[in-house]
Structure 1
């Protein structure tokens, strides 16, 4: 192979690492480049599967598809294949059959003589190995070893990138699960709680006041529809329809009127002139207000709950105040899922959350979100 062809093969291996290809495609390109550059008859690259003792990836070059099928199942981590997965030093042999760890090769496997193996290293970790055999026109030398070390470095980059991508994907899945958990807790759980209270009230009224029971059942129907809509919105990542089309003041107004109707506590909203905000900030303000209302009505034994919505300087402020029993010192020392969710939402929107609560004197939750 002349210098121009060598450069083209090496360039293909380097570019494969940065291209949007699967890991197997990248490794196949590197193995093919190694075989051509070092003028070997056969080449392979193995990435071990630590759990099974086999190989998670094993790509070859120089063997036809028919030969590969005839050889049979993927090799396991034994013999010389295993040596390079445990020892960080390269292995160069004039005759592979004379090595003490040589065992055998299966039927239909090509007969190998001279051999060069290079571990694929990431720091002190061995990620896999490249194997070359049967060099044309001589034996493998130190220059071959140096060149194969470079290619093994490119293979390491590809494998580390794949590992980072997989971890990033797993993290995204976990973050999405957390988002859905927060949405379910902030929205659907509240509506289901209200739905249960209203259904209980309707059941109690059936015998003595059928007309009021029918009215309560109408509220049950509305709450069930709202919960269904909210759940659908969460699944597809949408914002609540009221918030999307009518703005924060209108959406909170509907929420407050509904809660005032189905809970024993008096729930009121006072809203000034409120501009539209970026969708994520409006959604934060709405969800935090929902969570604060939920906490006040379900946990605080409040008689009155007031919601204020106004602009203060360069921030939109949402305040939810109740006259309930307040947070106990132990509650303030360890935040609930709801309070943690509110703080995370506020920080993500560039705002801040302040909770002021004293035992027996109620709680005020104040959210400040920057105006656009």
Structure 2
């Protein structure tokens, strides 16, 4: 026996390690049960490769049903996924038209023949569905179905769902070979489903690890900003304040005091930025906005009014959540440092698949000669999210900033 050839289980040889190895191994254990020609064997192998080519569970289930229909030439097929209580959590069909699916209304709840296979997870092959004791007939609008083949799908040792096939084309009956063929497909399907579930768990775990890395980086940046930048700015401001009385020129003293005010404003901006770094995006947007407003009220000298319209907390994605806080922080900082406002009103609205944010102040407005760096930054942030930003003079005084972002 070569080093690359797997030996019998139980003799110390390794189990198949890759997903496709597991699928083919499970398939090989079933092929001996099937009497088939080369064409059907190739069709079965193609079906197994097809269902293993996707890692998204819903797509895999649809591929399984489609492969089963092709393998045994059935007109209708379905995959019923079991819930923890033994009912049907999902029911995916193929062969029915959209009009037929719409006419049938709610998916089946697991009664009749479907319920029988749920209660007795064994293959079931019928010449006529209506002749089985468990049959309860079809609802109005359901297409007629006569022949039937049902096979359970297991994941590990647990019954996970059932594969249902009806109406073999040409009026023929499902054969023993058909049953063995679908049993082999169901075994491989169980492995593919297990792979998809494992992949989903690993992806979620990786996303959580990346999320933790981001939060650790945010904490580090926040600490650096506080310990290295804010403290140095604060010390510089104190030094400037300590020498004001030594300056005889009133204009020089005024410039020093102005510089101290700018330093205070910069410290406020940095604290707001640190707040944004530490804001958990799991926090509802309305709560995060209120926290930010509470933080900048010391710069403004008063508490802004905040109003929310529509499902603000449920409609906003994480990326939009972060950008909204950043834009609000910059808009409020500008109002505090340049507008000399006595009132600021903030409106955040989620309506018609759009998030709109408005900041209205009663300050002195934006001078024509004023630099546009902050306004350009607000515009670029909105455009990056596919939105727009604009500003205008308010009546009778002040400025109205407004941006819209598609949800």
Give the alignment's TM-score, normalised by structure 1: 0.50
User: Is 2:179 the counterpart of 1:116?
Assistant: no
Q: Deviations over 1:282-332 (max 9, x none)?
A: xxxxxxxxxxxxxxxxxxxxxxxxxxxxxxxxxxxxxxxxxxxxxxxxxxx
Match for residue 135 of structure 2?
Answer: 102
1:247 aligns with none
| Equivalent runs, 1:34-73 vs 2, <5 Å | 34-50=68-84, 53-61=87-95, 63-73=96-106
* Helix, strand or coil at the partner of 2:186: helix
Q: 2:163 aligns with which of 130, 152, 169?
A: 130
Is the contact between residue 48 and residue 77 of structure 1 (CA under 8 Å) also seen in structure 2?
A: no
Secondary structure (helix, strand or coil) at the match of 1:116 reads strand
Residue 118 of structure 1 and its aligned partner are, at CA, apart by 0.6
Q: Residues 218, 13 of structure 1: CA spacing in aligned structure 2 closer, same or farther, 3 A cutoff?
A: same
Instruction: Write the mapping of 1:229-268 to structure 2, written as runs, cut at 5 A.
Output: none
What is the number of equivalent residue pairs in this alignment?
Answer: 233
Shift of 1:84: 3.0
Match of 1:181 among 190, 201, 215: 215
**2:121 aligned with 1:88, yes or no?**
yes
Could you tell me how far apart the structure 1 residues matched to 2:180 and 2:209 are? 43
Residue 187 of structure 1 and its aligned partner are, at CA, apart by 2.3
CA contact (8 A) 1:95 1:114 kept: yes
Distance 1:215 1:83, change over 3 A: farther
- Tell me, yes or no, if the aligned pair for 2:234 and 2:263 is still in contact at 8 Å: no
CA contact (8 A) 1:195 1:224 kept: no
Give the aligned partner of residue 14 of structure 1: 48
CA distance in 2, matches of 1:162, 1:231: 39
Cα RMSD between the aligned structures?
4.1
| Aligned with residue 192 of structure 1, among 202, 226, 240 | 226
Counterpart Cα distance in 2 of 1:207 and 1:226? 21
Q: CA deviation at 1:130?
A: 0.6
State the SS of the aligned residue for 1:73. Answer: coil
Distance 2:278 2:234 in 1: 27
| CA displacement, residues 312-363 of structure 1 (integer Å, 9 cap, x when unaligned) | xxxxxxxxxxxxxxxxxxxxxxxxxxxxxxxxxxxxxxxxxxxxxxxxxxxx
- 2-side partners of 1:195 and 1:169: how far apart? 38
Distance across 1 between alignment mates of 2:53 and 2:180: 24
| TM-aligned CA distance change 1:56 to 1:20, over 3 Å | same
Q: Give 1:188 shift.
A: 0.7
Q: Indicate if the aligned counterparts of 2:55 and 2:196 stay in contact, CA closer than 8 A.
A: no
Q: Per the alignment, in what secondary structure is the counterpart of residue 109 of structure 1?
A: coil
Alignment of 1:33 with 2:95, yes or no, is: no
Tell me the secondary structure at the aligned position of residue 134 of structure 2: coil
**Cα offset, 1:34, TM superposition:** 1.9
Deviation at 1:112, TM superposition (A): 2.6
Q: Which whole-Å deviations, capped at 9, do the CAs of 1:23-54 have from their partners, x for residues lacking one?
A: 44433333233223223332222223548954
2:187 aligns with 153
Superposition deviation, residue 224 in structure 1: 6.6
Counterparts of residues 235-314 of structure 1 (less than 5 Å): none
Mapped partners of 2:216, 2:65: distance in 1: 47
CA 1:197–1:57 in 2, change beyond 3 Å: closer, same or farther? farther
Structure 1 stretches of 4+ with a deviation exceeding 4 A read 2-5, 49-54, 193-235
Q: Is the 8 A contact 2:153 2:190 kept in 1?
A: yes
Is contact 1:94–1:114 with CA below 8 Å preserved after alignment? Answer: yes
Deviations, residues 211-264 of structure 1 (Å, cap 9, x unaligned): 7877766666666777788899999xxxxxxxxxxxxxxxxxxxxxxxxxxxxx
